[in-house]
């Protein structure tokens, strides 16, 4: 279990060089820093089109300090499959990580994701989910929550959030987990546990985006925390046959202990138009999701 | 120059600070640490998106204002409210 | 270049074109192959799978979920430092269109066989060159074989050309669907040992490798100035020009290795005393040569310029061969909508105004054109020119009558 004491050794280490093109308060930055700490800065990244293509700044320089291959939108799992085969042949066992957004993963890259997962490619796939196509200016993606405002769903998205993590679970891969940037210890532990496993490992990382969610720049972590505390985001982990609810989410199994959903919704302008009946419906969806995950935890005991 | 060398700096990039510019100039509010309140927990360092906070050996924190964008996350996560967001230009 | 090359031990086999390509992939000791089926390419990936199962080739064989993934995976493998190969046709090629451009501009070496096939609708699995030619702007070096031996030879040399540090561009080798891919012809195959000394394993350092623990380079983030992008295109152009020399060097060496000497960019059959030049690419060039023979017997001073590599565009070869000709007739087994034949349009700019020119569109959708039909078309062109002086027919649609 990682501790702050252990992480202190990275106190002055710049896994991402400062001075990036990221928006102030960017959750992807927070998440990637945590990922780098978990891997001690020794990995390669395959990054499909998205915010993370732009964040590192312009050539001849980049803010990323590990080898990175920027790739077309739909291709990252396939490209990573090729890289890992090539480097494993040379006896290099180092981590090949895909750092992809929700659009790249749940939508345009869905086929390549499925292909890499079903082949059980030895890669770590992090879907950094800011819940829309943010890099192009906030358009709805497959993981945009129901009723969220985006430029292509101005009255609120009519489709539900695509549950990519469960889809990955059904691909029978050895490791699937959800994580949140507000729970760095949990995320870092999960990355490290994932690295103990060979094969396709998928982590769905919740990454609240201030401009995209119409939120104060400073509320990135607050929103991520409220998502877990209201039960809207469930932290769970599936590791080689066992599915468990992660410690930060355990208290919220109990409906009564979840913070009122309004607390999470009211700091986000993208939900400002919600009526009480919408919020009620949302709570019901959250209940059903908890039901499903808890039942899966029973099945995968 | 070989093809491989010609690609350097054009197709291939190397790590450097400020690759996105001198982002300190973006700031409207600057985080100011009240060192008497600071408990040196390191949470501000942990959550800073821009990696501009150093959590030093003695666990003090130091902010690099060349690149700090003033997002305010450090102030928001600080458990003892030891960081104030002060409007730039205010003395 | 490698040191002294001596004639290899060769074995004669009878193989269909697809299997010959697979044989070349095996001898090149490719590290990573991605496989997705599409007629008429499927035999290539099936044969490679058998070879790996039998232990004849040690490689990672990735059963991908689409052609887009097929190219993306071998591209990743190449960026990871491996020697990689895949094969496709028509619709599959177009499905990987985005990746084609990305792969070329990433400057990693790659080889891909394109078994040419018509595009639908309507569905058609027969031969047409339009698919291969549709990628001519992408930065891929493009070659096309005339027979099974050449399909083998071009695939094998492709690795050497692509990985050359003066080139570093991916190579597509075209072979006619069914006409070559599924037609058995005899060919000579050099031994693994001899190929191995001529074609060493890929050097992962050239031009770069993305590997854990490796140099912290990033490939592809935005340029600070758009001019960088223009510069990169100029460098790609320079590499394409270099490729002309490299292709010649590689075939020179390959000639010493196998005793087979090629063009290298083009070959001209009976052109030295030709007044009229026919131009073509691919398998039907053999049929056109048959037509040339008959026309020669009838006293027509005609030759055939066969294009082996369309990219880099063999400008010098073409202008040299057509210099002094009275007429040039180009055969396109492809069609660029609204323009006409691709080869014709690429060559027409080099035809002086006082030289007769005709662009023939034939064989589209895979219909056969016999040597006699070629003879008729060429004869008509020459006769007309002799009668009326230089003619300019940009699009001559040759479409035979269909019986009931």
**What is the full DSSP assignment across A208-269?**
--HHHHT--GGGHHHHHHHHHHTTSS--EEEETTEEEE-GGGGGGGSGGGSPPHHHHHTT-G
Q: Do C217 and B13 touch (CB under 8 A)?
A: yes
Spell out the domain ranges in chain A. 4-299
Q: What is the mean pLDDT of residues C189-211?
A: 96
Pairing of strands C141-144, A236-239: unpaired
Which chain B residue lies closest to C230 (C-alpha atoms)? B10
Residue C88 lies in a domain: yes
- pLDDT by 10s per residue, chain A, length 301: 999 999 999 999 999 999 999 999 999 999 999 999 999 999 999 999 999 999 999 999 999 999 999 999 999 999 999 999 999 999 999 999 999 999 999 999 999 999 999 999 999 999 999 999 999 999 999 999 999 999 999 999 999 999 999 999 999 999 999 999 999 999 999 999 999 999 999 999 999 999 999 999 999 999 999 999 999 999 999 999 999 999 999 999 999 999 999 999 999 999 999 999 999 999 999 999 999 999 999 999 9
Subunits adjacent to chain A (3 or more Cβ pairs under 8 Å): B, C
Residue C402 lies in a domain: no
Whichever domain contains B62, its CATH number is: 3.30.70.20
Q: What is the mean pLDDT of residues C287-295?
A: 98
Task: Decide if A14 touches B, using CB distance below 8 A.
Answer: yes
Pairing of strands C302-307, C60-63: unpaired
| Interchain CB contacts (distance < 8 Å): B and C | 46
Instruction: Share the mean pLDDT of chain C.
Output: 97
Query: What is the Cα–Cα distance from C178 to C367, expressed in whole angstroms?
Result: 12
Give the SS3 label for residue A131: coil
Residue count of chain C, please give it.
Answer: 404
Q: Give the end of a domain, one of C258, C277, C303.
A: C258
Tens-digit pLDDT profile for residues C30-66: 999 999 999 999 999 999 999 999 999 999 999 999 9
Here the ipTM equals 0.96
DSSP of C196-249: HHHSPPP-TTSS----TTS---EESPPBSSHHHHHHHHHHHHHHHHHHHHHHHH
Tell whether the model's pLDDT for residue C26 goes beyond 70: yes
Helix segments in chain B, DSSP class H: 3-7, 43-47, 73-77
Structural element, H or E, at residue C358 = strand C356-361
Judge residue B58's burial from the number of C-beta atoms within 10 Å of its C-beta, 0-12 exposed, 13-18 middle, 19 or more buried: exposed
- Are C233 and C376 contained in the same domain? no
- Are C232 and C321 contained in the same domain? no
- Are C185 and C326 contained in the same domain? no
Query: What is the Cα–Cα distance from C307 to C347, expressed in whole angstroms?
Result: 11
- Are C184 and C70 contained in the same domain? yes
- Are C156 and C238 contained in the same domain? yes
Which pLDDT does position C404 carry in this prediction?
A: 67
Residue C4 lies in a domain: no
Q: Do A83 and C79 touch (CB under 8 A)?
A: yes
- The two counts, helices (H) then strands (E), for chain A are 12, 9
Tell whether the model's pLDDT for residue B90 goes beyond 80: no
Q: Give the end of a domain, one of C224, C258, C292.
A: C258
- Burial per residue of A241-251, b for 16 or more beta-carbon CB atoms within 10 angstroms, e otherwise: eebbbbebbee
Q: Give the end of a domain, one of C236, C258, C280.
A: C258
Which chain A residue lies closest to C219 (C-alpha atoms)? A69
Residue A100 φ then ψ, to 5°: -130, 155
Cβ distance C146 to C285 under 8 Å?
Answer: yes
Of A43, A59, A90, the CB nearest to C222: A59
The structural domain count of chain C equals 2
Architecture of domain A4-299: 3-Layer(aba) Sandwich (3.40)
C396's CB contacts (< 8 A; 6+ apart) are C358, C359, C360, C361, C377
Of B10, B11, B14, the CB nearest to C216: B14
Span between the terminal Cα atoms of chain C, in Å: 59
What's the domain range around C236? 10-258
- Are C133 and C56 contained in the same domain? yes
Residue B83 lies in a domain: yes
CA C146 vs CA C63, C125, C151, C255, C288: distances in Å: 30, 19, 7, 17, 11
Helix segments in A119-237, DSSP class H: 164-169, 184-194, 210-213, 220-229
Residue C5 lies in a domain: no
Residues of B with Cβ-Cβ distance to A57 under 8 angstroms: 18-21
Q: Chain-centre distance of CA B68, in angstroms?
A: 4
Quote the DSSP letter at residue A22.
P
Tell whether the model's pLDDT for residue C266 goes beyond 60: yes
Query: What is the Cα–Cα distance from A277 to B26, expressed in whole angstroms?
Result: 40
Q: Do B4 and C239 touch (CB under 8 A)?
A: no
Which chain C residue lies closest to B20 (C-alpha atoms)? C224
Tell whether the model's pLDDT for residue C2 goes beyond 70: no
What's the domain range around B74? 18-87
Residue B10 lies in a domain: no
């Amino acid at each position: 279990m990682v501790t702050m004491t252990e992480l202190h050794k990275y106190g002055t280490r710049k896994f991402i060089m400062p001075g990036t093109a990221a928006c102030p308060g960017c959750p992807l930055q927070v998440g990637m820093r945590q990922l780098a700490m978990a891997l001690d800065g020794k990995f390669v990244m395959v990054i499909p089109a998205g915010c993370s293509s732009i964040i590192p700044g312009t050539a001849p320089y980049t803010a990323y300090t590990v080898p990175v291959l920027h790739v077309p939108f739909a291709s990252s799992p396939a490209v990573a499959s090729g890289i890992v085969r090539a480097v494993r042949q040379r006896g290099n066992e180092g981590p090949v990580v895909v750092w992809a957004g929700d659009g790249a993963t749940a939508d345009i890259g869905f086929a390549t994701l499925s292909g890499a997962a079903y082949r059980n490619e030895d890669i770590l796939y992090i879907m950094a989910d800011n819940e829309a196509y943010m890099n192009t200016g906030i358009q709805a993606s497959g993981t945009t929550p129901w009723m969220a405002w985006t430029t292509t769903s101005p009255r609120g998205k009519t489709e539900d959030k695509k549950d990519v993590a469960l889809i990955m679970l059904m691909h029978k891969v050895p490791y699937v987990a959800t994580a949140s940037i507000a729970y760095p210890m949990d995320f870092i532990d999960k990355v490290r546990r994932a690295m103990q496993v060979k094969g396709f490992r998928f982590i769905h990382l919740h990454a609240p985006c201030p401009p995209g969610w119409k939120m104060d720049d400073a509320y990135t972590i607050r929103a991520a925390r409220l998502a877990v505390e209201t039960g809207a985001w469930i932290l769970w982990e599936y590791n080689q046959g066992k599915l468990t609810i992660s410690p930060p989410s355990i208290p919220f199994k109990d409906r009564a202990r979840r913070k009122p959903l309004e607390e999470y919704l009211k700091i986000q302008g993208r939900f400002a138009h919600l009526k009480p009946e919408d919020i009620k419906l949302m709570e019901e969806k959250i209940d059903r999701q908890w039901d499903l995950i808890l039942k899966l935890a029973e099945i995968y005991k | 120059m070989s093809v491989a060398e010609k690609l350097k700096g054009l197709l291939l990039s190397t790590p450097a600070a400020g690759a996105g510019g001198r982002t300190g100039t973006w700031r409207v509010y600057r985080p100011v640490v009240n060192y008497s309140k600071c408990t040196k927990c390191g949470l501000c360092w942990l959550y800073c998106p821009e990696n501009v906070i150093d959590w030093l050996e003695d666990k003090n924190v130091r902010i690099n204002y060349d690149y700090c964008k003033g997002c305010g996350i450090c102030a928001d996560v600080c458990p003892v409210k030891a960081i104030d967001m002060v409007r730039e230009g205010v003395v | 270049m490698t040191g002294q090359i001596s004639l290899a031990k060769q074995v004669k086999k009878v193989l269909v074109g697809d299997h010959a390509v697979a044989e070349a992939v095996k001898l090149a000791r490719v590290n990573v192959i991605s496989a997705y089926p599409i007629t008429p390419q499927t035999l290539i990936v099936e044969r490679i799978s058998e070879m790996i199962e039998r232990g004849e080739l040690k490689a990672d064989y990735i059963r991908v979920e689409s052609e887009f993934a097929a190219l993306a995976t071998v591209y990743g493998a190449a960026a990871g430092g491996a020697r990689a190969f895949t094969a496709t046709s028509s619709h599959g090629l177009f499905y990987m269109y985005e990746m084609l451009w990305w792969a070329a501009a990433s400057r990693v070496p790659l080889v891909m066989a394109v078994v040419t096939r018509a595009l639908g609708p309507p569905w058609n699995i027969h031969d047409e060159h339009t698919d291969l030619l549709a990628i001519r702007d992408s930065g891929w070096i493009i070659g096309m074989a005339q027979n099974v031996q050449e399909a083998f030879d071009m695939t094998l040399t492709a690795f050497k050309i692509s990985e050359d540090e003066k080139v570093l561009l991916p190579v597509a080798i075209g072979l006619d669907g069914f006409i070559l891919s599924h037609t058995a012809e005899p060919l000579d195959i050099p031994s693994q040992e001899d190929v191995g000394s001529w074609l060493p394993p890929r050097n992962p350092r050239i031009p770069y490798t993305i590997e854990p623990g490796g140099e912290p380079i990033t490939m592809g983030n935005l340029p600070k100035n758009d001019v960088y992008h223009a510069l990169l295109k100029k460098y790609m152009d320079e590499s394409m020009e270099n490729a002309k020399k490299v292709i010649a060097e590689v075939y020179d060496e390959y000639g010493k290795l196998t005793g087979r000497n090629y063009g290298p960019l083009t070959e001209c059959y009976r052109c030295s005393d030709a007044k009229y030049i026919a131009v073509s690419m691919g398998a039907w060039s053999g049929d056109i040569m048959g037509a040339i023979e008959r026309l020669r017997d009838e006293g027509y001073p005609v030759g055939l310029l066969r294009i082996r590599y369309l990219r880099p565009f063999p400008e010098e070869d073409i202008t040299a061969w057509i210099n002094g000709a009275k007429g040039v007739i180009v055969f396109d087994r492809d069609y660029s909508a609204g323009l006409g034949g691709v080869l014709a349009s690429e060559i027409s700019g080099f035809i002086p105004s006082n030289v007769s020119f005709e662009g023939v569109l034939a064989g589209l959708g895979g219909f056969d054109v016999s040597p006699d039909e070629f003879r008729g078309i060429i004869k008509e062109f020459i006769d007309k020119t002799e009668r009326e002086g230089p003619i300019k027919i940009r699009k001559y649609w040759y479409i035979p009558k269909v019986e009931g």
